[in-house]
Structure 1
Amino acid sequence: MAIVFDPRQLRHAPAREMHNGDWAPHQESPARVHSILSAIGAVAPARDHGVATLTAVHDPAYVAFLRAAHADWRAAGRSGDAIGYAWPVVGRRALNLSRIDARLGRYSYDAGTPIAEGTWEAAYWSAQTALTALDHVAGGSTTRAFALCRPPGHHAGRDYLGGYCFLNNAAIVAAEARRRGLGPVAILDIDYHHGNGTQDIFLADPDILFVSIHADPATDYPFYWGHADETGEGEGKGATLNLPMPHGTDGAAYRPVLDRALSAVAAHDTRLLVLSFGADTYVDDPIAHFALQRADFAAIGERLAATGIDIVTVMEGGYATDALGANVATFVAALHGPR
Structure 2
Amino acid sequence: MLTFYNEQHSQHQGRDRSVNGQPVPCAEAPLRADAVLAELGRRGLGRIVTPHGVPLMSLERIHTPRYLHFLRNAWSEWVALDPANAGKDAFPSVWPVRTLRSDVEPDNLRAKLGLYSMDSGTPLTAGTWSAAKTGADCAVNAAHALRLGERSAFVLSRPPGHHAGADFYGGYCFLNNAALAAQHMLDDGARKVAILDLDYHHGNGTQSIFYQRDDVLFISLHADPRFEFPFYLGHADERGEGPGLGYNLNLPLPAGTTATAWLAALETACIRLGSFGADALVVSLGVDTFAGDPLSRFALHSADYLRVGERLAWLGLPTAFIFEGGYAVKELGVNVVNVLEGFETAL
Please give the TM-score of this superposition, normalised by the length of structure 2. 0.95
**Secondary structure of the corresponding residue to residue 224 of structure 1:** coil
CA-atom RMSD, angstroms?
Answer: 1.1
Aligned residues of 1:202 and 1:210 also touching (Cα < 8 A): yes
User: What corresponds to 1:106 in structure 2?
Assistant: 115
Q: Structure 1 residue 190 and structure 2 residue 198: aligned?
A: yes
- Secondary structure, aligned partner of 1:337: helix
Conservation of the 8 A alpha-carbon contact between 1:10 and 1:30: yes
Work out the percentage of aligned pairs sharing the same amino acid: 42
1:240 aligns with 2:245: no
Query: Is 1:276–1:316's contact at 8 Å kept on the other side of the alignment?
Result: yes
**1:82 aligned partner:** 90
Secondary structure at the residue paired with 1:4?
strand
Q: Are the equivalent residues in 1 in contact too, given 2:143–2:182 (CA < 8 A)?
A: no
Deviations 1:21-66 (A, max 9, x none): 3211111000101111110016111111111111110000000000
Q: CA deviation at 1:19?
A: 1.8
AA of the residue aligned to 1:252: T
Gaps of 5+ in 2: 42-46
| Aligned pairs for 1:127-206 within 5 A | 127-140=136-149, 142-206=150-214
Residue aligning to 2:73: 68
Alpha-carbon separation, structure 1, partners of 2:91 and 2:125? 9
Residue 28 of structure 2 corresponds to residue 19 of structure 1: no
Residue by residue over 1:79-125, the C-alpha shift from the partner in whole angstroms, topping out at 9 and shown as x without a partner, is 21111011111134221411110000010110011110000000000
Superposed displacement of residue 183, structure 1? 2.7
Structure 1 residue 302: Cα displacement: 0.4
Counterpart contact for 2:144–2:185, Cα < 8 Å = no
Superposition pairs of residues 1-339 of structure 1, within 5 angstroms: 1-41=1-41, 43-77=48-82, 78-79=84-85, 80-90=88-98, 91-140=100-149, 142-337=150-345
Residues in 1 aligned to 2:21 and 2:303: alpha-carbon distance in whole angstroms: 35
Q: Which consecutive residues of structure 1, in runs of 5 or more, have no partner in the other structure? A: none
TM superposition shift of 1:6:
2.0
Alignment-mate amino acid for residue 111 of structure 2: A
Q: What is the rounded CA distance, in whole Å, between the counterparts of 1:177 and 1:136 in structure 2?
A: 10
Greater Cα offset, 68-77 or 84-93: 84-93
The Cα offsets for residues 193-213 of structure 1, whole Å up to 9 and x where unpaired, read as 000000000111111110000
For 1:112, give the aligned amino acid.
Answer: G
Contact (CA 8 Å) 2:194, 2:216: kept in 1 or not?
Answer: yes
Matched residue type, 1:330: N
Find the counterpart in structure 1 of residue 44 from structure 2: none
- Secondary structure at the counterpart of residue 273 of structure 1: strand
Give distance in 2, aligned partners of 1:92 and 1:153: 26
The amino acid across from 2:80 in the alignment is A
CA distance, structure 2, for counterparts of residue 259 and residue 96 of structure 1: 44
Q: Secondary structure at the match of 1:328?
A: helix
Spell out, residue by residue over 1:140-178, the C-alpha distance to the aligned partner (whole angstroms, 9 max, x if none).
1x2111111211000000000000000000011111111
